[in-house]
Structure 1
Amino acid sequence: MSFARVRALVVVGVLAVAAVVFVVVALVRDTQGDAVAQGGCPDGSVMANVTLPESPQEVTIKVYNGTGQPGLAENVSNEFKNRQFKTQKPGENKKKVDDVAIMRYGPDAVGSAWLLRAYFLNQADAQYDAKRKGAVVDIVIGAGFQQLATTTEVNQSLVELGEPQLPPGACAAPAKKDDDKS
Structure 2
Amino acid sequence: MSFARVRALVVVGLLGVLALAFVVTAIVRDSQGKAGTAAGCPDGWPLADLVLHEPKDVKINVLNATDEPGRAGTVADDFRNRKFQVKKVGNDPKKIDSVAVLRYGPKGVGSAHLLQAYFLNNAVPGYDEKRTDDTVDVVLGNNFQQLATTTEVNQSLGDSGPPTAPKGSCPSPAAK
* TM-score, normalized by the shorter chain, greater than 0.5: yes
User: CA 1:14 to 1:175, structure 2 compared with 1: closer, same or farther past 3 Å?
Assistant: same
Q: What corresponds to 1:65 in structure 2?
A: 64
Q: What corresponds to 2:46 in structure 1?
A: 46
Gaps in structure 2 of 5+ consecutive residues: none
What SS does structure 1 have at the residue aligned with 2:144? coil
Contact in 2 for aligned 1:44/1:169 (Cα 8 Å): no
Task: State the percentage of identical aligned residues.
Answer: 47
**Could you tell me how far 1:22 is from its partner in structure 2?**
6.2
Q: After the TM superposition, which residues 102-113 of structure 1 pair with which residues of structure 2 at under 5 Å, given as runs?
A: 102-113=101-112
Query: Structure 2 CA distance, aligned partners of 1:168 and 1:85?
Result: 27
Moved more, 62-71 or 110-119: 62-71
**Could you tell me how far 1:51 is from its partner in structure 2?**
1.5
Q: What corresponds to 1:153 in structure 2?
A: 152
User: CA 1:7 to 1:41, structure 2 compared with 1: closer, same or farther past 3 Å?
Assistant: same
TM-score w.r.t. structure 2 length? 0.80
Gaps in structure 1 of 5+ consecutive residues: 178-182
Query: Structure 1 CA distance, aligned partners of 2:93 and 2:18?
Result: 71
Q: After the TM superposition, which residues 15-164 of structure 1 pair with which residues of structure 2 at under 5 Å, given as runs?
A: 15=14, 39-53=39-53, 55-164=54-163
Listed one character per residue, the Cα deviations across residues 117-170 of structure 1 (whole Å, up to 9, x for unaligned) are 010111111110111111100011111111101111111111111111221011
Letter in 2 for 1:97: I
Letter in 1 for 2:107: D
Query: Structure 1 CA distance, aligned partners of 2:5 and 2:75?
Result: 81
Letter in 2 for 1:103: L
Letter in 2 for 1:49: D
**Could you tell me how far 1:89 is from its partner in structure 2?**
2.2
Letter in 2 for 1:48: A
Aligned length: 168
Q: Which runs of 4+ in 1 moved over 6 A?
A: 5-11, 20-24
**Could you tell me how far 1:69 is from its partner in structure 2?**
1.6
Over the aligned positions, Cα root-mean-square deviation in angstroms equals 3.1
